[in-house]
């Protein structure tokens, strides 16, 4: 059992790390060309939903014994803090719409993974 849980938890840590890394890179202005492209193909709302949804799917998958709602709540708080930090950054802007897009991705992905796991 121990050998099965560690790789999953590493995957969850990596997923959270990727989101943190992307957020930090965007805060420093390193992703401006990519962000312009994202706006051209549907906006950053799609990016928020997809990025946070993928992270939620990996984290819920990694902790099969945890309630998916608890994981989604924790990741929702993380998304709120990530969006709140943008208020302090000169290159970024706080947006409730971005936060709600992140929440939608988190809750939908977490629910889908939990539903698949219950079968």
SS (H, E, C) 30-58: CCHHHHHHHHHCCCHHHHHHHHHHHHHHH
Reply yes or no on whether the pLDDT at 54 is more than 90: yes
Q: CA 20, 29, 89 angle in degrees (round to 5)?
A: 75
| Per-residue confidence (pLDDT) for residue 4, from 0 to 100 | 60
Sorting pLDDT into bands at 50, 70 and 90, what band is 43? confident
**What is the residue whose two structure tokens read 């998916």?**
68
| Per-residue confidence (pLDDT) for residue 33, from 0 to 100 | 74
- Contact between residue 13 and residue 63 where contact means Cβ atoms under 8 Å apart: no
| Per-residue confidence (pLDDT) for residue 45, from 0 to 100 | 86
Q: 42 is written with which tokens?
A: 């549907």
Mean local confidence (pLDDT), 34-55:
81
- Domains in the chain: boundaries: 2-118
H-state helical runs in the chain: 2-27, 32-40, 44-62, 68-86, 96-118
| Per-residue confidence (pLDDT) for residue 3, from 0 to 100 | 53
């Amino acid at each position: 059992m121990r050998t099965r849980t560690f790789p999953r938890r590493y995957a969850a840590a990596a997923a959270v790390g990727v989101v943190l890394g992307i957020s930090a890179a965007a805060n420093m202005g390193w992703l401006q060309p990519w962000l312009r492209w994202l706006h051209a193909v549907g906006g950053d709302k799609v990016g928020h939903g997809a990025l946070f949804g993928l992270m939620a799917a990996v984290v819920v998958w990694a902790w099969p014994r945890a309630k998916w709602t608890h994981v989604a709540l924790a990741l929702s708080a993380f998304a709120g803090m990530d969006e709140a930090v943008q208020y302090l950054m000169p290159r970024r802007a706080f947006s409730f719409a971005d936060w709600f897009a992140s929440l939608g991705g988190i809750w939908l992905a977490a629910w889908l993974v939990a539903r698949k796991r219950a079968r």
